[in-house]
Structure 1
Amino acid sequence: MVQGLSLSTLTTSGNGGFYGSTSSWRRHFNLVKKTHIGIDRQCLWHQFVQCLHFKGNPNILRQRNLRVEAGWLFKGGGDQSLDASSERSESANEDVLIFFFQLDLATRVQCALNMEQYEIAQQLRNKLAEVEAEISRQKEVKRGSSSKSEAQDKAISIIRLRADLQSAIESENYALAAGLRDQISKLEAESLAASAKALALENAKYAFRLGQKVKHKIFGYQAVICGMDPVCCETSSWMEVAQVEKLPRGSNQPFYQVLVDVHADPNLLVAYVPEDNLLVPDQPDKGRFDHPYLSFLFYGADAAGDFIPIKQLREKYNKPRHEIPNDPQDEEPQ
């Protein structure tokens, strides 16, 4: 289903009542507009909006006089009280939208090649390379590569300072030597801290997996894991609103991007939730779960009621395919 995704429809109201905003990163990458490159819309999944209709009763939002909008994610502000909206995350939702956009560009490149529009395919491939480079940069930051680089830079600075220290001692400039010694001690402590942080991020352990259904301990809504970070990667202002400092493990724990069931909260869509606030239902949850992003992040539900992430999503987080253990009761008698 993902192969035909066209992200431009995310900003289409259509009949699905869903709105998205991609202007911030569209401007950043200076995209080539579809109408300017001559690619036939028929080669894309122009029926994308139909998949945003909620399964079951199509009038559910109309009956509740509600309209699901993603626009709030790009408007700032927010309620300072601690409720479900306090974990709403602009960056988490934008991360999902950029992932959609990456899939869309890859589809359009292949479509242009199939139609022998090689110049257009090259333009799209260049844009795709920009998007992938930005995604890789963000991934390195989240996985602690920046901390590792910081530790390496400090180690190089320490080597240089030690050479200067030796020269100062040989020239009997002891005041300068004392100052250099203090700088070296400070850098050694900072380098050790950066190395420890990088190691902790690389070896982060996650209690939940992609596609797993979870429940919020405080707010009680059902959700599905669609992304994860080894530590909180949000801004200090967001952490203040979400009262992250009051959590048992604070910000130094895995945080998850979760899709919130629209029946529980049609205005939340994507939340950024600490591991401390999530739990797995006691029994497999095979009940109804609706969200406009499901069809593009997951193939469908497995036998346990969880969702099966698409290959590209697993590759994004370097996660293996989850295999459901065999149930002895399901095995045929010998």
Structure 2
Amino acid sequence: MEMLHGLSPITLPSSGYSGVYGSPPSWRKHYQLMQKAQISSATDRRYIWHQCMQILFSTSCPSISRHRNFRVEAGWPFKGGSQGLDASSERSESANEDILIFFFQLDLATRVQYSLNLEQYDIAQQLRNKLTEVETEVIRQQEAKRGTSSKSEAQDKAISVIRLRADLQNAIDSENYALAAKLRDQISNLEAESLAASAKALAHENAQYSFRLGQKVRHKIFGYRAVICGMDPVCSESGSWMEIAQVEKLSRGSNQPFYQVLVDVHADPNLLVAYVPEENLWAPDQPDMGRFDHPYISFLFYGMDAAGDFIPIKQLREKYNRPRHEVPFDSEDEEPQGDA
């Protein structure tokens, strides 16, 4: 195990897992252990994160998709309204993983530079290769969420329709009517799929968000305080998650912005990350300068601005293509923090 950074170790596998836990257990167990354990320091938490992420990426990045639908049950002190929901219904392990992968990506980039500074070029190359794998998977996921893949899909289907129409005309000219009927059905199906993909891409391109990255919000039903750390133009969760959260009963349904939010640990230290529809959130009119604690705050945000909202790091803003927004301090000795 290489000690590449002063804070936490990471294992670089070549032909399998060889972490500190011995035999290759499920990364899920270590992830759940991190959720339940009373971790005394940020260093310990980072170490366990690295072990979870190391197992996750030890084979190949596409393995992410195989683990995105599992769900850990958690209790919640606030009970929901007429829909019979509680706050755990909006708990999102996939959103939580998305944040941890983002952290892993940032940390790998830091380790590459650290190794280069120490002239440890072999280690830097190993880390750079792993970073490339992670970045490729992150880009793929972002394209799927933002509708870029839907736009390409619609274009591909439109091209296929043009080709099939030419084949249809040839079949008609040769009086092969059985083939012509089959081609008509294929064209009809492709046109419907292309229209759906185009509509999805258009919805993503025209999405309007009511809340900003780093903004402090409250849940309309459950009342907890939270901070926006991610956003999707429409619900990007699985069908099973949407069924549990009763998304179909929302007044705006699934075709509204959904937000990844960090829940104040003083409300429930086990919830961590929720995935909340826009209609269930509201922002206080007055600045919320109260203390807000969450283990992810320190690596996603620089600090608070004069309105009590958090200032997202540059990489987080780039991930969601959001502009920087902050309310500056009036006092000259309390300058807002800049990009690092």
Please say if 1:276 is aligned against 2:279: yes
* Shift in CA distance, 243/13, structure 1 to aligned 2, threshold 3 Å: same
Please say if 1:303 is aligned against 2:301: no
Aligned equivalents of 1:164, 1:141: Cα separation in 2: 31
For residues 226-305 of structure 1, the aligned pairs below 5 Å read 226-305=229-308
Shift of 1:79: 6.9
Aligned equivalents of 1:223, 1:192: Cα separation in 2: 37
Shift of 1:7: 8.4
Q: Which amino acid aligns with 1:273?
A: V
What is the match of residue 76 of structure 1?
Answer: 71
Cα pair 1:78 1:86 within 8 Å, conserved: no
RMSD of Structure 2 on Structure 1 (CA): 2.8
* Shift in CA distance, 121/260, structure 1 to aligned 2, threshold 3 Å: same
Please say if 1:26 is aligned against 2:58: no
User: Which is bigger in relative contact order (C-alpha 8 A, separation at least 6)?
Assistant: 1
Shift of 1:240: 0.9
What is the number of equivalent residue pairs in this alignment? 284
Q: Which amino acid aligns with 2:234?
A: V
Please say if 1:135 is aligned against 2:160: no
What is the match of residue 214 of structure 1?
Answer: 217
For residues 151-170 of structure 1, the aligned pairs below 5 Å read 151-170=154-173
* Shift in CA distance, 114/199, structure 1 to aligned 2, threshold 3 Å: same
Aligned equivalents of 1:302, 1:113: Cα separation in 2: 34
What is the match of residue 69 of structure 1?
Answer: none
Aligned equivalents of 1:74, 1:104: Cα separation in 2: 25
What is the match of residue 110 of structure 2?
Answer: 107
* Shift in CA distance, 7/115, structure 1 to aligned 2, threshold 3 Å: closer
What is the match of residue 122 of structure 1?
Answer: 125
TM-score (ref. length: structure 2): 0.76
What is the match of residue 176 of structure 2?
Answer: 173
* Shift in CA distance, 16/119, structure 1 to aligned 2, threshold 3 Å: closer
TM-superposition CA deviations, 1:301-333 (whole Å, max 9, x none): 000110001111111111111143899xxxxxx
Aligned equivalents of 2:165, 2:301: Cα separation in 1: 54
Shift of 1:22: 6.1
* Shift in CA distance, 26/236, structure 1 to aligned 2, threshold 3 Å: same
Cα pair 1:165 1:177 within 8 Å, conserved: yes
What is the match of residue 70 of structure 1?
Answer: none
The counterpart of 1:91, out of the listed 88, 91, 94, is: 94
Please say if 1:185 is aligned against 2:188: yes
* Shift in CA distance, 246/145, structure 1 to aligned 2, threshold 3 Å: same
What is the match of residue 78 of structure 2?
Answer: none
Shift of 1:77: 5.0
Cα pair 1:6 1:104 within 8 Å, conserved: no
Aligned equivalents of 1:250, 1:101: Cα separation in 2: 33
TM-score (ref. length: structure 1): 0.78
Aligned equivalents of 1:303, 1:232: Cα separation in 2: 31
User: Identity of counterpart residues, as a percentage?
Assistant: 75
> Greater shift after overlay, 99-108 or 318-327?
318-327
Aligned equivalents of 2:74, 2:126: Cα separation in 1: 42
Q: Which amino acid aligns with 1:245?
A: E
Aligned equivalents of 2:222, 2:119: Cα separation in 1: 52
Cα pair 2:256 2:277 within 8 Å, conserved: yes
Q: Which amino acid aligns with 1:218?
A: I
What is the match of residue 331 of structure 1?
Answer: none
> Greater shift after overlay, 80-89 or 246-255?
80-89
Cα pair 1:21 1:74 within 8 Å, conserved: no
Shift of 1:280: 0.6
TM-superposition CA deviations, 1:231-266 (whole Å, max 9, x none): 111111111111111101111111111010111122
Aligned equivalents of 1:111, 1:295: Cα separation in 2: 20
Unmatched runs of 5 consecutive residues or more in structure 2: 11-29, 60-67, 76-83, 331-340
Q: Which amino acid aligns with 1:276?
A: E
Q: Which amino acid aligns with 1:15?
A: S
